[in-house]
Structure 1
Amino acid sequence: MTTHRYGQTAPMPDSIRHFMRAGQHPARAIPCPHCGAGAHKPCQIPSRGLALAQVHQQRMAARAQMVACCPTCQVTPTVPCHTNGRELANESVHAARYTEADRSAA
């Protein structure tokens, strides 16, 4: 016996849909700039293609930069963090921005 769904499922905002996915880090909502894994796909070891249980640090930084303002350097979402007018190395973000991204997602 097969199960059939009738009609459309209820619409759900992407921000809520992501948190309904059990056990996934919020950074999985965006593609990984390090290994190239697509949105909602697990990060991989680039040389072997093995899926990882955790997300790459670069993916977490990209998510924090995309969704949160930085309390340390006072930049808006999507703007890279800086110190004394210079961007942080390797597209990293201040630690306070990670906290702000987690707070804004809750």
Structure 2
Amino acid sequence: MTARKPGAPMPPALRALIHSTATHPARTVPCPHCTATAGKPCRLRTTGRHLPEPHPRRVSAWAQQTAVCPQCQVEPTVPCHDVGCARHTVHHRRHQEAEATAA
């Protein structure tokens, strides 16, 4: 068998382009479920395997930090509420607003 020669290194500009287009904007906030830091992918808590998509709680945290909720009229960083009781997740309309803002 012959040893393989390593290929040419990837230019940093090309590497940044590949990684920026493949990541979800929710990666800009830490994940409250698996404690992945901002910028890192979510992972399974049992095996540590990286996930291709962020956890739903991370997406909710990202939407809460970036978008105004059209349903309950709260500002970014303020949790959504139903009749005065705070919700654990954001309203669907707030999630849509965050995705529209990120696009």
Aligned mates of 1:32, 1:23 — CA distance in 2: 18
- Residue 99 of structure 1 deviates from its aligned partner by 0.6
Q: Which amino acid aligns with 2:93?
A: A
For structure 1, the residue ranges without an aligned partner over 5 or more in a row are: 4-16
- Sequence identity percentage: 47
| TM-score, structure 1 normalization | 0.77
Aligned residues, how many? 90
Aligned mates of 2:64, 2:21 — CA distance in 1: 24
Computing the radius of gyration from Cα coordinates, the structure with the larger value is 2
Q: SS at the partner of 2:94?
A: helix
Root-mean-square deviation (CA, aligned residues, Å) is 2.2
Structure 1 residues 66-102: Cα deviation after superposition (integer angstroms, max 9, x where no partner):
00000000000000000001011xx200000011101
- Which aligned segments of 4 or more residues in structure 1 are displaced greater than 2 angstroms? none
**For residues 9-20 of structure 1, what are the structure 2 equivalents within 5 Å?**
none
**For residues 70-85 of structure 1, what are the structure 2 equivalents within 5 Å?**
70-85=69-84
